[in-house]
Amino acid sequence: MSETTTPVTPDAAAPLADATGPATGPTSAPVPTATAVRGGRREDLTRWALWLVLAVVMFLAPIYLPGEYLTVGTWVMTGAVGAMGLTMLVGQAGQLSLAHSFFLLVGGVSYSVLSGDGSDGFVGLHLPTFVALVLAVAISALVGVAFAPVSGRLRGIYLGVASLSLVFLGWYLARSLPSLAGTTSSGRYAEDLHLFGFNFGEKSPSLYVLDVPIGQNERLWWLFAALTAIAYAVARGAVQGRIGRAWRAVRDNEAAATVMGVSVVRQKAVAFAVSSAYAGLAGVMVVWWYDGLLKPDEAVDSGTYSTTVAIGYLAMVVIGGIGSLGGAILGSTIVFGMPLIIPLLTQGDGSGINAVSGTDFSPVVITNLVYGALIVLIIVFEPGGFAALGRKLTARLRRG
Amino acid sequence: MTTTATDADASSAAPDDTLRDVRPLAVEGLTIRFGGIVALQEVSFTVAPRTIHALIGPNGAGKSTCFNAITGIYQPTEGRIRLGDKDLVDTPAHRIAALGIGRAFQNLALSGTSTVLDNVMLGRYALTRGGFLSYGLHLPWTMKAERRHQERAAEICDFLGIAAHLHKPAGVLSYGDQKRVDIARALAVEPTVLLLDEPAAGMNSSETAEMAQLIHDIRIGLGISILLVEHDMSLVMGIADRVTVLDFGRLIADDVPSVVQQDPAVIRAYLGAEVTDDPSGPTHATHADKEFPA
Amino acid sequence: MSILVQVLLNGLGRGAIFALLALGFVIIYKATEVVNFAHGSIALFGGYLTYVLKSHMGWYLAALLGVLSAALLALLLERLILSRAKLASQDSLAILTIGVDIVVLTEISRRLGTEAAPFLGDPYQEVRVSILGATVEGPQIVALVSALVLIGAFFAVFRYSSWGLAMRAQSENREAAALMGIRSSRVTSSAWAVGGALAGIAILFIATLPIAGGAGLTAAHTIAFAAFPAAILGGLTSPGGAVVGGITVGLVEAFSQQYINQDFAKVAVYLVMLVVLVARPSGLFGRVEQQRV
């Protein structure tokens, strides 16, 4: 190491013997830097192995799990995709947004309009479903970019509350434009995804794997698992790379970021675009999950595209660990998974979400109490969320 | 957003045998007003290529304002700043790094939770290409370029003696090491002019001597110009080729260290009085300043 | 003409209620720089207690206890939870209050369940007055009068009492104020208690038929949510701004409801807030915070 430990006279014309100045030729570049930069081979192998195991598990799950559990899993995956987008915006780029459920709506409406066949008085462009999916995501991204300039004017909580306006706006527009978003009474139905002739919404399947009919539930599981995995891998690559660095610089010190060459305006726009794109994708997944149904909410604070859901997404991000992609997935498992899994585990008859009124401790009530309390506990004791807890745990295991 | 990653120009990916093309940094008639306050008034000086140029002055003299103007954070009310023949005032702030101006900060401005390597790699931002999709899809040429840039960043860290901490979160390092991370990041820009904002702040005399040696090594090793703001006179007088003195936003001296040390205007600025033999002479203090010329 | 007066009076009545909520919200923010998203739940908590107690001990005593309990909940939130979150940034603390809001709202909604007619305005619910050809309901009158009295009293205290001075000093510069001998924790706690009390008072007017409709107390949280845009557009550091914001929100709601539709009224408030914020990022009367490079 070129630690200068002896005081030296400033008049020395030559650098110290072991100071490897970058201009002194390639032969003096120390060999260790290349390997100092790469992670170890072992870490790479473990990572590949884990991915393989995960892929096998996800592939086999529909074979062995009953349909009701699959629907819980697919619902959690829609939340996971959305939450990964939000954690990039809030955690990496440092822009607080409470508008996530608005972009879910944008994605869902765009997909329904683009893929719909134009019957029943609804607007439909009858594009191939895969094209409609890609375009719906792109449209969500563009709408996100349109909102991005507000983040140049507002910061922190002000930006968060301002973004809440979008949820209200979306709620109002959806209710006012039934030909696009569906009627408030019965909604509208969107197309299932067809990929190379494979229908992901197939209700009477002829495909069998290990004697298990691969119907809609199973196919949706595979589709969502693939989408979630891709979303995760892409996000991870970006966060670890140049974009992630730029975002974190914008988050920590905008002036310093600018001095390093980051265009703050541009990177905020990119963050909003990416986050909205993820939310748009989640929105399309939500429509598929509801069997193709897109329906405007009755009230602005309850329903699929409500302020409550927007806050729920923020909860996922905080609980998982702000900025952590794995944490976002964990957060979705808690916030979106609990209300659905509790009735399955307690009653076993899998009747789905019980719309319980009265003073029972319904699954929704329990979930709300749990994640509300978790938010408080995490911010007080471990602001880095479960991701930080996980890191500390692995560090301790490695040492001990 | 999806531009492909091109190789950064060759001189930044591999150690260069040829010295860089260093132009003079000329500050001409720089005036900056914030409302009614005049932070800088017609300041002019030039950082000659490959020299170490110190900018000194009592607190509030406008040194940091000057730095901020050079890096585009403040817009001058009047005046020009030129790097060679490139006008920096006309350049958008985020493009100045690409012109070869690297800056280390007074308050470090590091990301404490990110690793040292990650922090230094931010300095490579202007030298790299690639948006969300290039990195997200792990495009091979993007990944290869990223690897090369990381190796260069590691080299720079090695030069600064912090290579052992590459993968540690920057926040756990000592203050002195964090300062080196900050400087490494500025060097990662592959600058022709390096701006150091109070590099010896918070250091004792032996650490300051190390810093002086480091600055000297950078100038010799990379052949670049260094402009530093500093309070510590031993550092300044020891290594600077030229010293510019500011006081209340005005330039009061601009010469080699030995001349500046003797300049009565400079002494008055620091001590608030004429240095005379008469002990009962006027001694009104204009600045509460601890440091004064050696 | 009488429709215009009616809408105006409706708007002012609701606006007065939002002003009370927004004022409590701003007092808390001014003393502690925390955006208290649990404000609606604190109000709901006080209202719930009033509702449960009023059949046992009469309305007036129940209302008093409700207001005090809201103040107490706010105080406990600050003392037991917020003061322990030392690692958190201001934005994180705001998110923390969201968590509290979720817990309190869920629990109280659960308890209210499907209670029939959970209303709180017993003494004045049935009252109706005619002004300039328009009908003004009891809750609105009482709300307006109470708001005037309370806001007036608050401003007097804020300007002329030593507590008000301490609050303003702490809001200006916490460290300097502490050096001057102002006990930061005391100012903070009292601010939260006062904020909570104001919320507890506001709920007495919200959970009435004319304001909350048939759902009464169960709709109160949603209605109280409009206090956030009110406070923010007025400027989070300005009590005067809170009042202006509250009245603005009330009027915007009333006029949108009358001349466009019910749905749009909810959106209009947020759009107005968005426009104000983009034009003046700290709200109408707030102050911009400088960041040091």
Q: Does A19 touch chain B (CB under 8 A)?
A: yes
Which of A160, A372, A376 faces C106 most closely, judged by CB atoms? A372
Using the Cα atoms of residue C58, residue C59, residue C64 and residue C66 in order, give the sign of their dihedral.
Answer: positive
H helical segments located in A118-263 = 129-147, 150-153, 156-176, 178-181, 216-240, 242-252, 254-259
Domain locations in chain A? Answer: 57-204+214-399
Query: Which of A93-105 are b and which e, b meaning 16 or more Cβ less than 10 Å from the residue's Cβ?
Result: bbbbbbbbbbbbb
Distance CA(C228)–CA(A164), nearest Å, equals: 11
> What's the pLDDT at A39?
60
Which residues in A lie closer than 8 A to residue B213 (C-beta atoms)? 4, 7-8, 10, 12, 16
> What's the pLDDT at A102?
97
Closest Cα in chain C to B67:
C293
Distance CA(A147)–CA(C229), nearest Å, equals: 18
- A120-126 own/partner pairs: CB under 8 Å, 24+ apart: A120/A188, A121/A179, A122/A178, A122/A179, A122/A180, A122/A182, A122/A188, A123/A179, A123/A180
CB contacts < 8 A (B, C): 4
Cβ contacts of C196 within 8 Å, gap of 6 or more: C24, C42, C46, C70, C71, C72, C73, C74, C75
Distance CA(C96)–CA(C34), nearest Å, equals: 10
Cα C267 from chain centre: 19
pLDDT band at B286 (very low <50, low <70, confident <90, very high): very low
> What's the pLDDT at B288?
41
Q: What are phi and psi of B78, to 5 degrees?
A: -145, 160
Closest Cα in chain A to B163:
A1
Contact A33 B135 (CB under 8 A): no
Token look-up 């970021």 returns: A257
> What's the pLDDT at A359?
66
Cα C234 from chain centre: 13
User: Residue B278 pLDDT more than 60?
Assistant: no
Report the pLDDT averaged over residues A313-326. 94
Q: Name the residue among C244, C246, C268, C271 with its Cα closest to residue C255.
A: C268
Which is higher by pLDDT, C122 or B5? C122
Q: What is the DSSP letter of B177?
A: H
pLDDT (tens digit per residue) in A106-142: 999 999 999 988 888 888 888 999 999 999 999 999 9
Q: Name the residue among C64, C34, C32 with its Cα closest to residue C49.
A: C64
Which residues in chain B (94-113) have CB-CB distances under 8 A to chain C?
Answer: 107
> What's the pLDDT at A78?
96
Report the pLDDT averaged over residues A173-187. 88
CB-CB neighbours of A124 under 10 Å: 20
Contact C95 A300 (CB under 8 A): no
Which residues in chain A (129-168) have CB-CB distances under 8 A to chain C?
Answer: 150, 153-158, 160-162, 164-165, 168
pLDDT band at B1 (very low <50, low <70, confident <90, very high): very low
Mean confidence (pLDDT) of chain A: 84
Q: What is the DSSP letter of A300?
A: T
3-state helix, strand, coil in chain C (%, to 5): 75, 5, 20
CB contacts < 8 A (A, C): 123
> What's the pLDDT at C137?
79
Contact A158 C278 (CB under 8 A): no
User: Residue A356 pLDDT more than 80?
Assistant: no
> What's the pLDDT at A12?
33
Which is higher by pLDDT, A207 or A142? A142
Cα B8 from chain centre: 23
Query: What pLDDT tens digit does each residue of chain C (293 aa) get?
Result: 678 888 888 899 889 999 999 999 999 998 888 899 999 999 999 999 998 898 888 888 999 999 999 999 999 999 999 888 877 788 889 999 999 999 999 999 888 876 666 777 777 777 777 777 777 777 788 888 888 888 888 888 888 888 888 888 877 777 777 777 777 788 889 999 999 999 999 998 888 877 777 777 888 888 888 889 999 999 888 888 999 999 999 999 999 988 888 889 889 999 999 999 999 888 888 876 654 44
> What's the pLDDT at B233?
81
Distance CA(B210)–CA(A10), nearest Å, equals: 9
- Domain A57-204+214-399 - what CATH class? mainly alpha
Which residues in A lie closer than 8 A to residue B146 (C-beta atoms)? 241-242
Report the pLDDT averaged over residues B14-39. 80
CB-CB neighbours of B17 under 10 Å: 10
Distance CA(A203)–CA(A218), nearest Å, equals: 10
Q: Which CATH architecture has domain C2-279?
A: Orthogonal Bundle (1.10)
Report the pLDDT averaged over residues B123-135. 91
Q: Name the residue among A359, A365, A319 with its Cα closest to residue A342.
A: A365
pLDDT (tens digit per residue) in B171-225: 899 998 999 999 999 999 999 999 999 998 888 888 888 899 999 999 998 999 9
CB-CB neighbours of B106 under 10 Å: 17
> What's the pLDDT at A36?
58
Distance CA(C171)–CA(C26), nearest Å, equals: 11
> What's the pLDDT at A6?
39
Structure tokens at A207: 């495909």
Q: Does C87 touch chain B (CB under 8 A)?
A: no
Among A166-175, B60-69, C100-109, C126-135, the range scoring the smallest mean pLDDT is C126-135
Q: Does B217 touch chain A (CB under 8 A)?
A: yes
Give the pairing type, strands C134-137 and C128-131.
antiparallel
Counting Cα atoms < 13 Å in the Cβ hemisphere of A36 gives: 25
> What's the pLDDT at B5?
39
pLDDT (tens digit per residue) in B150-160: 999 999 999 99
Which of A23, A36, A274 faces B154 most closely, judged by CB atoms? A36
Contact A357 C113 (CB under 8 A): yes
Q: Residue C136, SS3? A: strand
Which is higher by pLDDT, C231 or A199? C231
> What's the pLDDT at A347?
67
User: Residue A11 pLDDT more than 50?
Assistant: no
Using the Cα atoms of residue B246, residue B250, residue B253 and residue B256 in order, give the sign of their dihedral.
Answer: positive
Q: Does A177 touch chain C (CB under 8 A)?
A: no
Domain locations in chain B? Answer: 21-271
> What's the pLDDT at A213?
79
Q: Does C293 touch chain B (CB under 8 A)?
A: yes
pLDDT (tens digit per residue) in C153-209: 888 888 888 888 888 887 777 777 777 777 778 888 999 999 999 999 999 888 887
Contact C96 A379 (CB under 8 A): yes
Fold for the domain defined by B21-271 = Rossmann fold (3.40.50)
> What's the pLDDT at C3?
82
